[in-house]
């Protein structure tokens, strides 16, 4: 497994598992990550993946990847493929333990007949709406269905005919016979099978009845020998049903379910239903849009997998719901990238500077440090010449007091190069600054004055003759509000979440930036080449800026 990650702190799940191992109740710890292939994985899933795979690794056990593919109308092979890619990318390996709930359809069917034989399940003709109405509420008990008294033979016959395709979708269901007056609604004769005449990505037309999550999940755990079935809190109320099924079926093992709080993050949504709405409604460019909290989007945005694992370790695992600031995620990325990302120079909004006393036609290569945090990263040569580009916002003709960068008559440092002084401003008819004239001091080569004089600013720059044009995409939070609200969450979309800059200039070393390699553009942030790059026309995504407001806020506390 990838990464020299430190083991996360001991949480209540690890305490339970550790205790089971210490007491000899469990010899090999087996967990599973059970995604439903109806969308892409997001950072919330990463929390579950890190927990399940992490616990298995720490206790010398194994973690299965199991697709919970029981709802063929919403599931697709493309999602299965994307999920496999994302879990691998995150750094986890299930070895040969790749499973699908659909692998167990025949066994599950036999176990449903077993419940019917024991008088613990019956076929119901009520519609979905009627079942809901009969089920009662939190304060009122449910009422038994008029069909709950059906005898075993009749139930078996009807269930077999459901499987044979004799009935239309929704005409009948199989329900467990438990307790319509139970205080737990999940125990009021829950549905185990429904009719769905829909082809399945893996079983094709073989089945027209499909098990529900409740019937498939625990039994799949039992078949696989899962010892600790870890899920999110919304399944806490399903646990009595989970235990009831395991207790009443001839399952080969007795898994136990534990629940932890799901991850929520500010300024984004982590529900597959909402993510699907964003993608299908065209509000983002696809499941891997760099603004999305999907793993595919975050990978494209340049978040290293190790930073995501670090984030998951830091947020920990508890039983109380909370919302984590997106700033923490960005902080984790910055902290890692600061150590690993090569530094480069790029100008996002170029302003041309002509250095009038630099000999025309001349040029030179100046030495630049690749990573001040990592001396083994070495140095590189950056071309310099008479014409360069600086960042437009690094010049002001009439600077206010606290603006220390370039201005008429003022001297600044060009990083790794020379001190320059602004000697002239060329404007267009509209009065906008088009170009600057400067002089340089040849004695300051490398960026220091031999006479010890200081300047207040150091600017990044690129040589005009050598720079490579590029497109750069900047991202802001996808939602303006920290908690994009309810059904109307689309109203909270940030109209400025994407800014595309089409006339950027990069230092030549960036033409070799490999796919997947995040670099730091000095003073601007961390950037990664996008898959939409073309030869001679790179496209870069900004992962995060350099300013770490999160660290600042925390530091003051």
Give the catalytic positions in this structure.
Answer: 36, 262, 272
The CB-of-316 to ligand ATP minimum distance in angstroms stands at: 12
Q: What are 408's strand-pairing partners?
A: 422
- By beta-carbon proximity to ligand ATP, the closer residue of 155 and 268 is 268
**H or E segment and range at residue 352:** strand 350-355
Which of the stretches 138-146, 267-275, 376-384, 392-400 binds ligand ATP when contact is defined by CB under 6 A? 267-275
- By beta-carbon proximity to ligand ATP, the closer residue of 315 and 351 is 315
Residue 228 interacts with ligand ATP (CB under 6 A): yes or no: no
Q: For the chain, first and last CA: distance in Å?
A: 36
The CB-of-71 to ligand ATP minimum distance in angstroms stands at: 10
Dihedral pair phi/psi, residue 67, rounded to 5°: -80, 125
DSSP string, 9-33: PP-HHHHHHHHHHHTTS-SS-EEEE
55-84: which residues touch ligand ATP (CB under 6 A)?
68
The CB-of-555 to ligand ATP minimum distance in angstroms stands at: 28
Which of the stretches 19-27, 33-41, 134-142, 158-166 binds ligand ATP when contact is defined by CB under 6 A? 33-41
Residue 278 interacts with ligand ATP (CB under 6 A): yes or no: no
Separation of alpha carbons 426 and 250, rounded Å: 85
DSSP string, 473-508: EEE--SBSSSS--STTGGGGB-TTSEEEEEEEEE-G
Which of the stretches 29-37, 121-129, 243-251, 409-417 binds ligand ATP when contact is defined by CB under 6 A? 29-37
Separation of alpha carbons 516 and 85, rounded Å: 14
DSSP string, 110-132: HHHHHHHHTT-EEEE---HHHHH
Antiparallel, parallel or unpaired: β 173-176 and 539-544: unpaired
Which of the stretches 44-52, 281-289, 363-371, 540-548 binds ligand ATP when contact is defined by CB under 6 A? 44-52
The CB-of-64 to ligand ATP minimum distance in angstroms stands at: 12
Judged by CB under 6 A, the residue of 29, 31, 48, 242 near ligand ATP is 48
- By beta-carbon proximity to ligand ATP, the closer residue of 270 and 551 is 270
- What is the distance of C-alpha 189 from the center of its chain? 37
The CB-of-135 to ligand ATP minimum distance in angstroms stands at: 22
Judged by CB under 6 A, the residue of 5, 11, 20, 36 near ligand ATP is 36
Pull the structure tokens for residue 513. 């930036």
Q: Is residue 259 within 8 Å of residue 51, measured between CB atoms?
A: no
Residue 44 interacts with ligand ATP (CB under 6 A): yes or no: yes
Q: Which residues bind ligand ATP (CB under 6 A)?
A: 34-36, 44-45, 47-48, 68, 231-232, 262-263, 270-273
């Amino acid at each position: 497994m990838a990464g020299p990650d430190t083991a996360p702190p001991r949480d209540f799940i690890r305490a339970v598992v550790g205790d089971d191992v210490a007491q000899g109740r469990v010899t090999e710890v087996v967990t599973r990550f059970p995604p439903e292939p109806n969308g892409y994985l997001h950072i919330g899933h990463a929390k579950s993946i890190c927990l399940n795979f992490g616990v298995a690794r720490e206790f010398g056990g194994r973690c299965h990847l199991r697709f919970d593919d029981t709802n063929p109308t919403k599931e697709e092979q493309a999602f299965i493929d994307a999920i496999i890619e994302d879990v691998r990318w995150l750094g986890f390996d299930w070895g040969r333990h790749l499973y699908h709930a659909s692998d167990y359809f025949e066994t599950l069917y036999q176990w449903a007949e077993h419940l019917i034989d024991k008088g613990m399940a019956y076929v119901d003709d009520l519609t979905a709406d009627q079942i809901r109405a009969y089920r009662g509420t939190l304060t009122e008990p449910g009422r038994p269905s008029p069909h709950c008294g059906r005898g075993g033979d009749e139930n078996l016959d009807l269930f077999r005919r459901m499987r044979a395709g004799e009935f239309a979708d929704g005409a009948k269901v199989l329900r467990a016979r438990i307790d319509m007056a139970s205080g737990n609604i999940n125990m009021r004769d829950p549905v185990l099978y429904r009719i769905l005449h829909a082809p399945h990505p893996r079983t094709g037309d073989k089945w027209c009845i499909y098990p529900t999550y409740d019937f498939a999940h625990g039994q799949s755990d039992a078949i696989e020998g899962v010892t600790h079935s870890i899920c999110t809190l919304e399944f806490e109320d399903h646990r009595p049903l989970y235990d009831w099924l395991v207790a009443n079926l001839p399952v080969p093992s007795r898994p136990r379910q534990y629940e932890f709080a799901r991850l929520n993050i500010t300024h984004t949504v982590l529900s597959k239903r909402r993510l699907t709405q964003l993608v299908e409604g065209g509000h983002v460019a696809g499941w891997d849009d760099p603004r999305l909290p999907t793993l595919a989007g975050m990978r494209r945005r340049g978040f290293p997998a190790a930073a995501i694992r670090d984030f998951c370790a830091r947020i920990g695992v508890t039983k109380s719901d909370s919302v984590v600031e997106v700033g923490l995620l960005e902080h984790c990325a910055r902290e890692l990238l600061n150590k690993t990302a090569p530094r480069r120079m790029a100008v996002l909004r170029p302003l041309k500077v002509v250095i009038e006393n630099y000999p025309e036609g001349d040029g030179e290569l100046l030495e630049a440090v690749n990573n001040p945090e990592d001396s083994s990263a070495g140095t590189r040569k950056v071309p310099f010449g008479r014409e360069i580009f600086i960042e437009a916002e690094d010049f002001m003709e009439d600077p206010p007091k606290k603006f220390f960068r370039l201005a008429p008559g003022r001297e600044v440092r060009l990083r790794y190069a020379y001190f320059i002084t602004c000697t002239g401003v060329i404007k267009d008819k509209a009065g906008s600054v088009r170009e600057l004239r400067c002089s340089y001091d040849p004695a300051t080569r490398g960026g220091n004055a031999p006479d010890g004089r200081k300047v207040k600013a150091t600017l990044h720059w690129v040589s005009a003759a050598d720079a490579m044009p590029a497109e750069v995409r900047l991202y802001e939070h996808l939602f303006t509000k920290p908690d994009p609200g309810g059904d109307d969450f689309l109203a909270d979309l940030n109209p400025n979440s994407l800014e595309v800059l089409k006339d950027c200039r990069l230092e030549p070393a960036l033409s070799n930036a490999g796919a997947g390699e995040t670099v730091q553009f000095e003073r601007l942030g961390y950037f990664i080449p996008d898959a939409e790059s073309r030869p001679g026309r790179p496209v870069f995504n900004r992962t995060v800026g350099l300013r770490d407001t999160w660290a600042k806020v925390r530091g003051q506390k």
